[in-house]
Structure 1
Amino acid sequence: MKRLLMSWGQSLCVGAVAAAVLTVGLSFSVNAGDDPIASRKAMMQTVKAATKLSVGMVKGERPFDPAVAELAVRAMNTAASGVVNFFPESSKTGGKTTASPKIWEDMAGFKAKMAKFEADTAKAVKAAANGADAFKVAFGAATKNCKGCHQEYRVKKKK
């Protein structure tokens, strides 16, 4: 019975991440002119959900599953590869966004940080097949990008 519940729980996790990946895919299909703020928020929420799932495996709070780990970081990688397309000049203001004006002042720097995140998440995708220890190292390197980008290109949320 315990094994059945574990399989069911793992299937649920895979389903949740698959839904997140689908969300990212659907976001990419939306023209950036339609609602770029909503599109990039959806992508970042996908990154957040995939990160949370991966952190659970890295910390040992849930069993490591290479398929789930790969799918989670693949979702992060997909978002990283396309989110820069959802920061047109027209989305600097309006809507609820925590995107800092510095993004548009330093678009090359922002794109460089996202390219590094994309490269590091691609490494984590490959590392997932090599076991929990390899994944932990690669995932850790990928998530270090989050703090750097958020500190530089995100307005702190008011509490």
Structure 2
Amino acid sequence: MRHVLIAALLVAPTLTIAETPEEKAVETRQGYFSLLGANMGVFAGMAKGQIDYDAEAAQKAADNVVLLSSYNTGHLFMEGTSSLDLDNTRALPDIWDDMAGVEAKFDNLNKAALAMQAVAGNGKAEMAGALGTLGGACKSCHDDYRAD
């Protein structure tokens, strides 16, 4: 009996509801954007004075945003993963009608991230100055392709 209970406890964690490829794509996409948001939060907190400016932390966040904005996100935008297809996403269907526009916005994000990377560790004023362009790149995509 004890062996049956042990076996059941070992197998139980693997018995989960199967996730569809579309649901997995949305989950992965949301994780990607959460990473971007966490790093953007470092800049915003410093710029607003909610946290002390820290050159090393700002530079690490900038390096992370450059890395993330260089990532090939194509597989994160699988057909059938818009807000019309699934309840757990705010991705508007316009994304799939305008992939060239989405790619252009990611290119702008990368350019703004590179500009931030160049100044993030140089001081609060320089970092805050670059934040407007970087935040604008994020907002541009949100405005066109994300439901509120």
TM-score category, normalised to shorter length: 0.7 to 0.9
1:9-38 superposed Cα distances (whole Å, 9 cap, x missing partner): xxxxxxxxxxxxxxxxxxxxxxx8882211
Contact 1:100 1:155 in 2 (8 A): yes
Which of residues 87, 93, 104 in structure 2 aligns to 1:101?
A: 93
Amino acid in structure 2 at the alignment position of 1:74: D
Task: Give the TM-score normalised by structure 2.
Answer: 0.75
Map of 2:117 onto structure 1: 125
**Separation (CA, whole Å) in 2 of partners of 1:51 and 1:137:** 14
Aligned-residue Cα RMSD (Å) equals: 2.0
Counterpart of 1:137 (choices 88, 112, 129) is: 129
| Residue of structure 2 in register with 1:18 after alignment | none
SS in 1 for 2:92: coil
1:87 corresponds to: 77
Question: In terms of Rg, which structure is larger?
Answer: 2
Check if 1:68 corresponds to 2:57. Answer: yes
TM-score, structure 1 as length reference: 0.70
Q: Mind listing any 5+ residue stretches in structure 1 that lack a counterpart?
A: 1-31
Please identify which structure carries the higher helix content. 1
Query: 2:119·2:126 contact (CA, 8 Å) conserved in 1?
Result: yes
Q: Percent identity?
A: 27
Return structure 1 stretches of 4+ with deviation > 4 angstroms: none
